[in-house]
Structure formats: structure tokens, C-alpha cells
């Protein structure tokens, strides 16, 4: 499998678990399973280290070129400046082509990454040379698109990773400095980078895609206030998106797509964070029609995803009941809101009950679907809620010393009990995999 040693080790662990399950079910013979394991172990994971170092070296070369040119920029004639810029860029492209022809793919990717960095340096320095408008956002946009076009042309994973970073810096500059929020122009470029990650079937790109998307959404929250959305509107809008990502990940996993598990993990984490936030403060809602239409549209789309998940047998009745409840909770404010302003106060204990139910459901969902991640996430959510309730209730009634002493005892006892329960559930998960 192509990739860096860290991702390779994760892949090997996953394939070992899958092979045990496939052998038990009779899909793969024990002899074939051992042959697959030997083929994975025979690949020299350490040989990837020079490639990683070459990528880091390319980045340092790009920074060195920038520093050298910037330090001597004023003394150079304009023609020499242009010559240095274009020759260095052409040399990087030439080196990449030569390395590809020699089948040194990893080092060719390092050369391409260097070319992408030099392309950005050329944009910035030429703009400075000809006293063009100091539009950093526009320069970053051109740099990002150039890097993305190069990633598509060369099918380069290293340049694709750089493109995700550059695109996120671009949208961050537009959102926070230029005040363009939400920065909708980012979405088509992000989608193009995500699509290339799908085509390359590169797992790190899935993480970069989802992290950058949720980061963009977080930076754009303030801008949604321009649509007269209040705190409650924003939270349930985010909850609808997180549930969509979770269901799409669940469906993708059922279809055998590698992206499925990654998307499900991020969707579950963000859903848990937003549900926890429900109990932190009373929420205000405005009955803005745009928000209600968006929320209902997401609700309809999630119902369709839920239907396809059922058709693909992506979860049991426990999963269906839980996702149905989450879907109902998500669209309920859009149905109930009326008048100018509405309030939702979950701080009086209802939010805690809801979150405990969510945590326990996650544990059972993970047990039934043989997902250790969901089991561990459920226990983490349960422990976080228990600690929050302790801090909010007993913390206000006890003095500092007694608060910490009792808290330490409860944490030790609670961690011991939770760990025993967690091990029991993980054991059940292992049995589910073996059946």
C-alpha cells in the first residue's frame, strides 16, 4: 500500500482484524490469510523514510529560496530577478519529470511540491516587483488554484496535501481578514480537492478534507449572523451537517468505501460536541425562513440517507432508532419556531439526560456494529457528562479542598468502573467480529 509508515501501520492493523473475521466466516482460507500477512510484512516500511525526508527537504528548499531572494531582492536587476524566478521553477518541473521517468515516484513528488512552493513565491515576488495591488487573498487564491491544478495533472498526493493547506489559508484570510463570511467561493475549490482525494483513494486526504470543511464552517459562523441567525439557529444548522456527514459515512462504509469510516468518525465526534453544547446555555432562535428551509432540506436529505442505510443494512434496529431520534431532534426547531424570537433552555437537566442517552446509545451501537471507535467515543462522552454534572452541582456546594478530594475519589472509582464496563463491551465487540 502506498503511503507513509504511520498510515501503513494503521492499514496493516485494520487488514489483520479484517482477515481474522474473513477467515472465521469462511470467505478467506487460513493459508491465503497468512500469505496476505506475509506480503504486507515483507514490504520495507522503513524505506519510506527517505521519501518523507525528501518532502520535508523540498519544503525547506522552497523557504530557503524565498529567504535568499528576499534578502538580495533590492540589489538585483529586474531582468535577473525574473530569470531566477522562472529558471528555478522550470528546474523544479524538469527534475520532477526526470524523476518520474526514472521511476523515482516519491522523489518526483518532492520535486513537484517544491515547484508548487516556487510557484507561490513567483506570484508574490512578481506582484511586489511590478507594484501590483497588495491583495493577499487574491494571491493566495491564485497560488492555491495553481497547486490544485498541478495536483490534478500529476495525480500527486504531496501537492494535494499542500493544496488543502493553501486553500484553508486562503479561506481563513478571506474570512478573518477580508471579512468575507461565510466564504462560499471556497466550497467549489474544496470539492475539487476532495474529489481528487477520492480518485487517488488516499486516506490522509479524507482527514484533510473533513478537517478543512469543519474549520471553514467554524470560521463562517459569525457570517451567518448576516442572515439573522441566532445561537440556536447556528447550533442546529451545524448539528444537521454533522448528522449528514455521519450518515454518509455510515452508508459509505456499508458500500465498502474507505472514506466511510473516516466520515463516520468525524460526524459522530462533531454531533457529540454539539449535543453537549445544548446544555451549556439557553439558546435563542429567530424564525428566519432561510434557516427553516435549509434545516428542512437537510432533514429531507438525511431521511433519504437513512433509507439507503436501511436498504444496505448499515445498522441494526438500535442504530435506526437512534439515528431517527437524532434526525427528529435536528428538524424539530424548524417546525416549532414561530414569531420573532424563540428560546430553548436545556440547562435544567434535560440536556444532561439527552447526552447520557446519546452516550449509552453510542456504546450499544458500537458493540452491535463491531466498532471500537464508537464504543470508546461513547464511554468518553459518558465520562465527560458525568464530570460536567459533578462540577456544576457539587462544585458550587463544597469548598475547594473538599471539592478536589471528593472529585479525585470519584474520578478514580468512576474510571475503574467505566474501564471494566468498557472492556466488557469491547469483548462483546470482538465476539461480534468473530461471529
pLDDT-based confidence at residue 8 (cuts at 50, 70, 90): low
Question: Beta-carbon neighbour count of residue 70 at 10 Å?
Answer: 13
For all residues of the chain together, what is the average pLDDT? Answer: 79
Q: Phi and psi dihedrals of 103, rounded to 5? A: 65, 20
Q: Which residue has the higher pLDDT, 7 or 410?
A: 410
pLDDT in tens, 121-131: 788 777 777 66
Q: Which residue has the higher pLDDT, 369 or 395?
A: 369
Q: Rg of the chain over CA atoms, in angstroms?
A: 26
| Residues 393-412: b if buried by 16+ CB within 10 A, e if exposed | eeeeeeeeeebeeebeeeee
What per-residue confidence (pLDDT) applies to 123?
Answer: 82
Contact 330, 302 (CB under 8 A): yes
The whole-number average pLDDT for the span 335-342 is: 67
Q: Is the pLDDT of residue 65 over 70?
A: no
pLDDT-based confidence at residue 367 (cuts at 50, 70, 90): confident
| Residues 359-374: b if buried by 16+ CB within 10 A, e if exposed | bebbbbbbbbbbbbeb
pLDDT-based confidence at residue 208 (cuts at 50, 70, 90): very high
Question: Beta-carbon neighbour count of residue 80 at 10 Å?
Answer: 11
What per-residue confidence (pLDDT) applies to 376?
Answer: 86
Which 3 state secondary structure label does DSSP give 240?
helix
Q: Is the pLDDT of residue 174 over 50?
A: yes
pLDDT-based confidence at residue 289 (cuts at 50, 70, 90): confident
What is the pTM assigned to this prediction?
Answer: 0.75
pLDDT in tens, 144-161: 999 999 999 999 998 999
Grid cell of 202 as nine digits: 488516499
Amino acid at each position: 500500500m502506498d503511503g507513509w509508515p504511520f498510515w501503513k501501520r494503521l492499514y496493516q492493523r485494520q487488514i489483520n482484524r479484517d482477515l481474522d473475521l474473513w477467515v472465521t466466516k469462511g470467505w478467506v482460507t487460513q493459508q491465503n490469510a497468512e500469505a496476505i500477512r506475509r506480503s504486507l510484512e515483507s514490504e520495507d516500511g522503513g524505506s519510506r523514510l527517505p521519501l518523507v525526508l525528501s518532502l520535508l527537504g523540498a519544503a525547506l528548499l522552497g523557504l530557503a529560496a524565498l529567504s535568499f531572494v528576499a534578502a538580495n531582492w533590492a540589489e538585483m536587476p529586474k531582468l535577473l530577478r525574473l530569470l531566477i524566478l522562472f529558471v528555478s521553477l522550470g528546474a523544479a518541473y524538469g527534475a520532477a519529470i526526470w524523476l518520474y521517468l526514472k521511476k523515482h515516484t516519491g522523489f518526483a513528488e518532492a520535486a513537484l511540491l517544491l515547484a508548487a512552493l516556487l510557484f507561490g513565491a513567483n506570484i508574490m515576488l512578481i506582484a511586489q516587483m511590478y507594484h501590483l495591488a497588495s491583495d493577499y487573498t487574491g494571491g493566495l487564491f491564485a497560488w492555491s488554484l495553481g497547486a490544485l491544478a498541478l495536483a490534478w495533472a500529476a495525480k500527486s498526493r504531496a501537492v494535494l496535501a499542500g493544496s488543502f493547506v493553501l486553500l484553508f489559508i486562503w479561506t481563513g484570510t478571506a474570512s478573518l481578514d477580508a471579512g468575507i463570511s461565510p466564504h462560499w467561493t471556497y466550497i467549489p475549490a474544496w470539492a475539487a480537492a476532495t474529489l481528487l482525494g477520492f480518485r487517488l483513494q488516499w486516506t490522509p486526504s479524507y482527514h484533510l478534507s473533513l478537517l478543512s470543511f469543519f474549520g471553514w464552517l467554524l470560521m463562517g459562523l459569525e457570517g451567518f449572523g448576516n442572515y439573522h441567525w441566532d445561537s440556536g439557529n447556528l447550533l442546529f444548522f451545524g448539528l444537521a451537517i454533522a448528522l449528514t456527514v455521519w450518515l454518509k459515512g455510515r452508508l459509505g462504509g456499508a458500500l465498502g468505501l474507505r472514506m466511510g469510516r473516516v466520515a463516520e468518525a468525524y460526524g459522530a465526534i462533531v454531533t457529540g460536541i454539539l449535543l453537549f453544547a445544548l446544555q451549556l446555555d439557553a439558546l435563542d432562535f429567530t424564525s428566519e425562513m432561510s434557516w427553516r428551509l435549509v434545516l428542512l432540506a437537510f432533514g429531507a436529505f438525511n431521511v433519504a440517507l437513512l433509507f439507503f442505510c436501511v436498504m444496505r443494512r448499515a445498522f441494526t434496529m438500535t442504530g435506526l432508532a437512534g439515528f431517527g431520534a437524532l434526525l427528529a431532534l435536528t428538524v424539530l426547531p424548524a417546525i416549532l419556531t414561530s414569531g420573532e424570537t424563540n428560546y430553548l433552555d436545556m440547562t435544567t437537566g434535560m440536556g444532561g439526560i439527552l447526552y447520557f442517552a446519546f452516550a449509552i446509545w453510542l456504546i450499544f451501537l458500537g458493540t452491535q456494529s463491531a466498532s471500537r471507535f464508537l464504543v470508546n467515543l461513547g464511554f468518553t462522552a459518558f465520562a465527560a457528562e458525568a464530570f460536567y454534572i459533578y462540577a456544576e452541582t457539587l462544585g458550587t456546594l463544597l469548598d475547594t479542598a473538599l471539592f478536589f478530594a471528593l472529585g479525585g475519589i470519584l474520578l478514580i472509582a468512576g474510571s475503574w468502573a467505566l474501564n471494566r464496563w468498557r472492556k466488557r463491551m469491547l469483548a462483546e465487540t470482538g465476539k461480534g467480529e468473530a461471529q
